Amino acid sequence: MPKTTCPRCGAEVDAAVALRNPVAPTPKVGDLGVCLRCEGPMEVQADGTLKAIDLHTVADDPFRLLVIAILSIRARKREGWTP
């Protein structure tokens, strides 16, 4: 994944992780993600940048996956993990 920044907090984003796959994916246009620092949901754009999205605009299945990802990040942070 090319380096870019989180549209919400400005954190450097240079990798992707699949929630249900141990192999790092290559993000495609329209893929959804969550910033490890601010937990903000975002979407991959055609130019490789990330766009902040509102959870209210996401369909049910992807919405559930984003919520699971956000909760997983929060749980790891409570255990002392830092991104």
Identify each DSSP E strand in 4-76 by its residue range: 4-5, 12-13, 32-34, 41-44, 50-52
pLDDT, residue 19, reads: 66
Q: Amino acid identity, residue 45?
A: Q
Per-residue pLDDT at 9 exceeds 90: yes
The domains of the chain are located at: 4-78
pLDDT digits (tens, 9 = 90+) for 13-71: 888 877 667 777 788 898 888 898 998 889 999 998 999 988 777 777 788 788 878 88
pTM, rounded to two decimals:
0.70
In CATH, 4-78 is 3.20.20.210:
no
Q: Which helix (H) or strand (E) holds 66?
A: helix 60-78
